[in-house]
């Protein structure tokens, strides 16, 4: 009898008791808006910003309504506007080109390697086309950040990092989000800390931080931020920067602070799940597992593998048979977007040039979530199911 996985790929863990208690405290006093405080009280949103700045090593941090808002805010804070071109990954998710389109700019897509990182050769060729790179660490895969920054610095291109999938990750000991001018993070349910929605923006640049805080809708209350530049950074900007409201509320911030403190332990749990799937799929004929360099410290809340050179019907067959056995795989080579999964040529509001090498990678790319409700034994079972269905066709 064939094995079948009975669990869920979308069920997250319950919020920790500390998050629940903090949320109840906020609900009891009713001051959910970040600028609604009593007496000498410091808002939960301001405390979260302080916590995240300290954990990431950044000077400044801003808590916002979503990771997508953080991306758009970062672009605006760097002066990107209508008609500008912005480089970004061909392998990413819709909020990234959406943020570029949202400020009226035009994305120029850079190819992806079979290790699921930005193609540095293609990037080098396209750097003259833009002054900003919105770099997506898609699905938690970090490229050689020293090489990338050398290229961008030499070309005068500003780097904004989309770290939605790399909270707690690092390259060569430097945390993700700390390489470029700005790092943007998500606290949506399927990310490393969970508030349902939410985002964080970090930077060492006082002007960028001041612009972002004003953009988020601080009115003239920016002096209540404790992970912000001094008041003089806002002196002239407060007359120039529009309010495009996207603040995080105190309820979400209260939920997040205990989770943030526990992130290092949770990262170890995610990586144990990832390693179990790697062990179960290693050495299979017909599968390619993306290489993780020694310099990369990852937090693997999802898993990817490639079926290189497989035709579409064969990939579709693996996906369908795995689904019948309870293993839900997302396919980036499908002709139409489905659920959370889409690719650069699906975003018709952001026209693209063909990228044949990237298309070959994406044609065989399969992806699945690894929520912490799974166990190591679950992941070993999932790997056995995938292995048997791939080997059936590979043979």
Q: State pLDDT tens for residues 168-204.
A: 999 999 999 999 999 999 999 999 999 999 999 999 9
Domain ranges of the chain: 17-261, 263-394
Residue with tokens 């043979």: 395
For domain 17-261, the CATH architecture is: 3-Layer(aba) Sandwich (3.40)
Name which of 120, 143, 139 is nearest 304 in CA terms.
139
The answer to whether 17-261 and 263-394 have equal CATH topology is no
Mean pLDDT of 204-232: 97
d(CA 111, CA 158): 19
CATH class label, 263-394: alpha beta
CA distances from 278 to 105, 174, 191, 288 (A): 39, 25, 21, 11
Name which of 344, 60, 326 is nearest 204 in CA terms.
60
Check whether 23 has a pLDDT greater than 70: yes
d(CA 323, CA 350): 32
Residue 339 confidence (pLDDT): 83
Tokens of 328: 């839900």
Tokens of 233: 């950074």
Mean pLDDT of 222-229: 97
Per-residue pLDDT of 318-350, as tens digits, reads: 999 999 999 999 999 998 888 888 889 999 998
On whether the CB atoms of residues 352 and 345 are closer than 8 A, the answer is: yes
Residue 395 confidence (pLDDT): 60
Question: Who has greater pLDDT, 207 or 341?
Answer: 207
Tokens of 229: 């530049």
Check whether 220 has a pLDDT greater than 90: yes
Per-residue pLDDT of 288-307, as tens digits, reads: 999 999 999 999 999 999 99
Q: For residue 394, what pLDDT band results from cuts at 50, 70 and 90?
A: low
What is the DSSP code string of 47-103?
HHHHHHHHHHT-SEEEEES-HHHHHHHHHHHTT--TT-EEEEESSS-THHHHHHHHT
Kind plus residue range of the DSSP H or E element containing 380: helix 376-394
Check whether 363 has a pLDDT greater than 90: yes
CA distances from 105 to 16, 125, 127, 155, 212 (A): 40, 20, 16, 20, 18
Q: How would you classify residue 139: left for phi > 0, otherwise alpha for psi between -120 and 50, otherwise beta? A: left
CA distances from 216 to 60, 312, 355 (A): 14, 44, 36
Check whether 1 has a pLDDT greater than 90: no
């Amino acid at each position: 009898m064939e094995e079948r996985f009975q669990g869920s790929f979308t069920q997250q863990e319950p919020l920790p008791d500390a998050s629940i208690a903090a949320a109840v405290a906020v609900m009891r006093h009713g001051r959910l808006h970040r600028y609604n405080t009593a007496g000498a009280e410091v808002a939960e949103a301001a405390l979260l910003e302080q916590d995240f700045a300290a954990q990431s090593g950044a000077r400044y941090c801003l808590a916002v309504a979503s990771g997508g808002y953080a991306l758009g805010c970062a672009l605006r804070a760097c002066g990107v506007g209508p008609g500008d071109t912005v480089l970004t990954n061909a392998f990413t998710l819709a909020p990234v080109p959406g943020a570029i389109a949202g400020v009226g700019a035009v994305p120029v897509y850079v190819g992806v390697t079979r290790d699921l990182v930005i193609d540095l050769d293609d990037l080098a060729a396209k750097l003259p086309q833009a002054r900003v790179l919105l770099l997506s660490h898609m699905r938690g895969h970090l490229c050689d950040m020293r090489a990338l920054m050398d290229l961008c610095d030499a070309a005068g291109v500003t780097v904004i990092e989309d770290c939605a999938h790399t909270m707690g990750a690092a390259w060569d000991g430097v945390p993700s989000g700390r390489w470029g001018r700005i790092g943007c993070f998500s606290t949506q349910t399927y990310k490393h800390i969970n508030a349902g929605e939410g985002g964080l923006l970090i930077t060492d640049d006082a002007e960028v931080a001041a612009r972002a805080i004003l953009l988020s809708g601080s009115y003239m209350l920016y002096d209540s931020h404790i992970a912000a530049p001094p008041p003089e950074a806002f002196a002239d900007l407060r007359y120039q920067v529009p309010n495009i409201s996207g603040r995080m509320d105190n309820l979400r911030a209260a939920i997040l602070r205990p989770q943030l403190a526990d992130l290092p332990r949770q990262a170890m749990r995610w990586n144990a799940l990832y390693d179990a799937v790697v062990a179960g799929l290693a050495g299979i004929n017909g599968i390619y597992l993306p290489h993780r360099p020694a310099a990369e410290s990852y937090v693997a809340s999802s898993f990817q593998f490639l079926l290189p050179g497989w035709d579409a019907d064969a990939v579709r067959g693996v996906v369908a048979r795995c689904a019948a056995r309870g293993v839900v795989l997302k396919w980036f080579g499908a002709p139409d977007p489905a659920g959370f999964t889409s690719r650069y040529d699906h975003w018709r509001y952001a026209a693209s040039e063909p990228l044949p090498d990237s298309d070959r990678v994406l044609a065989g790319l399969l992806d699945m979530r690894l929520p912490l409700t799974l166990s190591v034994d679950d992941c070993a079972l999932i790997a056995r199911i995938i292995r048997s269905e791939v080997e059936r066709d590979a043979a």
